[in-house]
Structure 1
Amino acid sequence: MNAKKPPVPVSLLMVIGIVAISFSSIFIKWSSAPVSVQGMYRLLITSLLMLPFARPYSGAARTLHFKDWLLLGASGVMLALHFLLWMGSLNYTSVASSTMILALEPLFIMMGAFILYKERNSGSAILGMAVAIFGVVFIGWGDIGLSAENLKGDLLSLGGTVAVAVHLLIGQKLVARMPSYLYSLIVFITAAVVFAVYNLATRTPFFDYPPREWGIFVLLAVVPTVFGHILFNWLLQYTSATTVSMNILGEPVGSSILAFLLLGEQLSRMQWAGGVLVMAGLGVYLYAGRKKALKLEAALANAS
């Protein structure tokens, strides 16, 4: 894990990212466009917004090796697959169920980080993760469907969770040696191209959508992508993929509350209780991560 400190506290940036990304499922539910079109324009508009500020990173792009470009391509494919599967899951199941399954992402991250990077977590951090995940189960407990349609949505969300975990693990490796802005831009363009190819192959219309849909495409690009995914990618310079994914556990809480207020999806007492458990687990995990970071800083100071 990188011992650098960001100019703004990580905890504050995590809160901003969680709030922003919590709106993603709301915007998706509001849209009647195919999810592959939503995903394509979400990433394309984000890329267009980023391009005017990309010139300072042109030198860094020229220093990338062939292996780096392969990893960037793989990360972009995984991000597109994540959006396609997870956004598609919202057509079959509720916001609470879909985001609850998505919040299992840290389990895949933790296993992948241990296998690939030998990254270990303390007992208290694992306890915090377990409490938070248990809370996530509470959130979706009264909402998990037993029908074939809801099960399809659950499986789509699970597949999207695996895909985004792989995307984050690749990102952790790449942003250690390249600017996070450049990483995000290349990955978003790659994912947008993947969606475009998918839409061409499935003969999905590119342009025949009312103004309301275009407004939703813009909202998806600006709110959950710029202030969510780009922010989380940037934070990979300062903390591990496990910590970033752990904080995304706050999304089911935020999304469930927004779904209750904006979509009329009801929350049970168990789901409210689950929100409290998620926040408690996040607190334990972050505290454990902070202690680990302080120990690392002290060790580096002593070594110097």
Structure 2
Amino acid sequence: MNTEQKKLWLHPYAWLLIAVLAVAISSIIIKFSSAPSSVAGMYRLFITVVIMLPLVPWKVLRTIRLTRKEWMVLSCAGFFLGLHFLLWMESLKYTSVASSMVFITLQPFFVMLGSFLLFKERSTIAGSLCMAMAVLGSFVIAWGDIGISREALFGDLLSLLGTMAVAVYMIAGQQVSRSLPSNLYSLIVFLIAGTVMFVYNLVNQIALTGYAAEEWMYFALLAIIPTIFGHLVFNMLLKHIGATNVSMAIIGEPVLAMILAYFLLNEYLGTAQMIGSFLTIAGMGMFFRLRARQTAVAAEAGV
């Protein structure tokens, strides 16, 4: 284990599992809420920022020196995170959890392509095949849900666009997060993302107040569970294991969300979903096993 990993309380992949479990719950909470998705997303991020304020190492601000380019990349990351929340959360209003979240599985492909084009970061053939297997499993899940989501193509399109947006966020974050403490980086991008949604609400004259106490409970839960224990942890892990590994783990989110939706929302769960889940989990397991071997070999070689 390298010095970067020793700074974490748990192994990076243990944190990754916690984060994936946390974000899988977000779709269920969103489905329970009747507030506009842009409002729920905005308060989700702003409440997260308030919670994080005491956790940020403010004393190090004097020592941080970001270039103009780094500030632009940081702003880009926050903007596309806000765009992701706006598009993906809205997609859940039009389609089922399984159909909406299946497009999240395309994220590692977008991230891998962007990382290669920008940073020349390569993936092995075996790793790419494992990734393809995991993605295939998620598409099998979606195919089994086609009878429900056939009339919800708009929701599927929103989810796809949201996945592209979060891939840009991951790639930008991988570059600039190394220059900032994790908590400070997360606070800045969450604040920018929340502001994006705030502007969207103002432009579209969506009410910002007048919601029932139950809705505020959902806003708080979205901030604490999938944002603090999910996206905040993902941000922390970007500098430890990279955007490709983080985005690969997120492929497991649709499987967990689908299972939760079956028990909590009575959404359909059939043979295709079961087979697809197995393929997704198997592909992810083999991918991370390959990564672990590569890390061990690199450590022995002193790389």
TM-score normalized by the length of structure 1: 0.94
Q: Is the 8 A contact 1:169 1:241 kept in 2?
A: yes
Measure the CA separation in 2 of the matches of 1:180 and 1:108: 23
Alpha-carbon shift at residue 67 of structure 1 (Å):
1.8
Kindly provide the CA deviation profile for residues 191-219 of structure 1, in whole angstroms up to 9, marking residues without a partner as x. Answer: 11111111111111111100000000000
**Cα distance in 2 for residues equivalent to 1:13 and 1:150:** 34
1:57-108 per-position Cα deviation (integer Å, ceiling 9, x unaligned): 5426742222222111111110010011101111111000111111211110
Which deviates more, 46-55 or 211-220? 46-55
Q: CA deviation at 1:176?
A: 2.0
What is the CA distance between 1:8 and its match in structure 2? 1.1
Q: In 2, distance between residues paired with 1:296 and 1:177?
A: 24
Q: Percent identity?
A: 46
Corresponding residue of 1:15:
17
Shift of 1:288: 1.2
| Partners of 2:145 and 2:268 within 8 A in 1 | no
Q: 1:261 aligns with which of 257, 260, 263?
A: 263
> 1:3/1:107 Cα in 2 relative to 1: closer, same or farther (>3 Å)?
farther
Structure 1 stretches lacking a partner, 5+ long: none
CA distance, structure 2, for counterparts of residue 60 and residue 109 of structure 1: 32
**Contact residue 26 and residue 222 of structure 2 kept, 8 A:** yes
- For residue 181 of structure 2, the aligned residue among 179, 182, 191 is 179
1:276 correspondence with 2:282: no
Q: How do 1:198-277 residues align onto structure 2 when only pairs under 5 Å count?
A: 198-277=200-279
Which blocks of at least 5 consecutive residues in structure 2 are unaligned?
none
Alignment counterpart, residue 128 of structure 2, candidates 126, 129, 152: 126
What secondary structure does 1:206 align onto?
Answer: coil
The CA distance in 2 between the partners of 1:145 and 1:195, in whole Å, is 32
Cα deviation 1:238-281 (Å, max 9, x = unaligned)? 10101000000110111000000100001111101111111100
Q: 1:194 to 1:249 in 2, by over 3 A?
A: same
Structure 2 residue aligned with 1:4: 4
Q: 4+ residue stretches of structure 1 with deviation over 4 A?
A: 145-149
1:165 aligned residue: 167
Q: Displacement, 1:3?
A: 7.5
SS of residue paired to 1:238: helix
Tell me if the contact between 1:60 and 1:179 (Cα under 8 Å) persists in the aligned partners. Answer: no
Q: Give the secondary-structure state (helix, strand or coil) at the position aligned to 2:15.
A: helix
Partners of 1:153 and 1:278 lie apart in 2 by: 22
Give the match for residue 77 of structure 2. 75
- Give me the whole-angstrom Cα distance separating, in 2, the residues matched to 1:148 and 1:265: 15
After TM superposition, the structure 1 = structure 2 runs for residues 142-157 of structure 1, keeping only pairs within 5 Å, are 142-144=144-146, 149-157=151-159
2:190 corresponds to which of 185, 188, 191:
188
**More deviation, 5-14/206-215:** 5-14
- From 109, 112, 115, the equivalent of 2:114 is 112
The one-letter amino acid paired with 1:39 is: G
Q: Distance in 2 between matches of 1:44 and 1:73?
A: 16
What SS does the aligned partner of 1:63 have? Answer: coil
Shift of 1:141: 1.0
Structure 2 residue identity aligned to 1:117: F
Matched positions, count: 300
The C-alpha deviation readout for 1:137-165, integer Å capped at 9, x for no partner, is: 11111213687741101100000000000
Partner Cα distance (1:60, 1:226) in 2: 25
CA distance in 1, matches of 2:132, 2:13: 20
C-alpha displacement at 1:123, in angstroms?
A: 1.7
